[in-house]
Structure 1
Amino acid sequence: MTLRTRFFDLTSSYTNENQYIDILWNELESHYTESHRTYHNLTHLEELFGYFDIYKKELEKPDLVAFAIFYHDIIYGVWNKKNEEDSAKKALKVLQNLSLSPEDLEEIESHILATKSHTAISKDTKWMIDFDLAILGSPIARYNLYSELIRKEYRKVPTFLYKKGRKKMLKHFIEKPFIYSTSIFRTLYEKQAKMNLQAELNSL
């Protein structure tokens, strides 16, 4: 299933305005194909939905998680310290025109904001965070490609500044008791993630 088809199938449950769905998709696609994006792009969304499909049965409100996945990185700039907040704000602005309740919108916002803090209380938000961080526990070759793509996104950032910021991020995750929020992801990916992060830290 293409991302476009997935988006149309999801959104058509909440509006009959196909033209509006088209507008929303075109806007999403435009943002996620911005020239500076080498990791936080459509491929990233496809990877998250790969995990979403596997663990959908674990979710209480899968549609809301799906909306959060689509919009969690719609705003992404390397100098912007409020990407998640701006993405959540953008999501609420466009999704309020669908037949989603205020509670639904609040939950979508919560999922998106949690991708910044990487902390969650609700079950679905825990899964959302783990989908987003799954790349950290991938095989080392895939992880190395991820780290290279992140560096390319930050190519305008001087090396010494990038290394300083990257080291801070790596240490943050390494020092956490657990990177992942669900027991399944901890079992499958926690050990590999810590190894990957430490290897990158040692290389900087």
Structure 2
Amino acid sequence: MGTSTETELRERWRRLAGTAAGTVGEELIGRYREPHRRYHTVDHLVAMLRVIDELAGEADDVDAVRYAAFFHDAIYAVDRADNEERSAVLAEEVLGKLCAAPELVAEVVRLVRLTATHDPSDDDRNGGVLCDADLAVLAADEQGYAAYTAAVRAEYGHVPDELFRAGRAAVLQGLAGQPKLFRTPLARTRFESAARDNLRRELAELTGRVAS
């Protein structure tokens, strides 16, 4: 049966892919329940899909974006740097077996690969929606952001604290250095300011510097 979150994901997958693809949906959802995951879980996936709903009008093909969300972290190992590529290959294989239109498959694969950088071009409306939904957690309230950072740290529990802090700071500095974190107008209005405040505070905690 699973949790209410998993029930929601099953229904979302059914609406997207049809009842005949139910087994595929179960397998995908199962991947997000793998025991080594602490942040990249079913909760992250459903939260991302809900943001995509809110940003749907900003996409050219919102169904492609939703498929990409389901696949974007389908393969996730903390000790590998090619998770996005492997997830993209999985999406290509699975959607091909489901006889999805070739142009849809190509777009989903492209979008999954894009989550490796979160740097879509200005005219990439689908990519903007997907990346904005993936990064929306950065704008969480104080309690939600604390839960997010704790979950990320738990996923990397095998990494010594000093190394983790340096690596995490580098990731956050890369994000903070972007001219805009969010690409769609709606997401920028809703998320940009809060996300930058959270990044600034976390970087100060990681580096021991006072947030400005």
- What TM-score does the superposition give when structure 1 sets the normalisation length? 0.92
**Within 5 Å, which residues of 2 pair with 1:1-80?**
2-12=8-18, 18=20, 21-80=21-80
Give the counterpart letter for 1:83 in structure 2: N
Deviations along 1:69-108, whole A, 9 cap, x unmatched? Answer: 1010000111110111111111111111223222211110
**Alpha-carbon separation, structure 2, partners of 1:177 and 1:59:** 21
The residue number in structure 2 matching 1:128 is 130
Give the counterpart letter for 1:101 in structure 2: A
**Alpha-carbon separation, structure 2, partners of 1:2 and 1:40:** 17
The more displaced of 54-63 and 131-140 is 54-63
The residue number in structure 2 matching 1:117 is 117
Equivalent position SS for 1:177: coil
The residue number in structure 1 matching 2:204 is 202
Count, aligned residues = 198
Equivalent position SS for 1:40: coil
**Alpha-carbon separation, structure 1, partners of 2:118 and 2:63:** 20
Deviations along 1:93-131, whole A, 9 cap, x unmatched? Answer: 111122322221111011111111111132111111000
Deviations along 1:32-72, whole A, 9 cap, x unmatched? Answer: 10001111010011101111222223322121111101010
Among candidates 141, 144, 151, match of residue 139 of structure 1: 141
The CA RMSD over aligned residues, in Å, is 1.4
Equivalent position SS for 2:55: helix
**Alpha-carbon separation, structure 2, partners of 1:115 and 1:70:** 12
Answer yes or no: is the 8 Å Cα contact 2:55–2:187 preserved in 1: no
Identity across matched positions, percent: 33
The residue number in structure 1 matching 2:182 is 180
**Alpha-carbon separation, structure 2, partners of 1:201 and 1:103:** 41
Deviations along 1:153-183, whole A, 9 cap, x unmatched? Answer: 1111111111111010011111111111112
Equivalent position SS for 2:74: coil
The residue number in structure 1 matching 2:168 is 166
Give the counterpart letter for 2:24 in structure 1: L
Over 3 Å off, 4+ runs:
none
**Alpha-carbon separation, structure 1, partners of 2:200 and 2:56:** 31
**Alpha-carbon separation, structure 1, partners of 2:142 and 2:197:** 9
The residue number in structure 2 matching 1:190 is 192
Q: CA deviation at 1:196?
A: 0.4
**Alpha-carbon separation, structure 2, partners of 1:120 and 1:176:** 12
Q: Which runs of 5+ in 1 are unaligned?
A: none
Answer yes or no: is the 8 Å Cα contact 2:10–2:26 preserved in 1: no
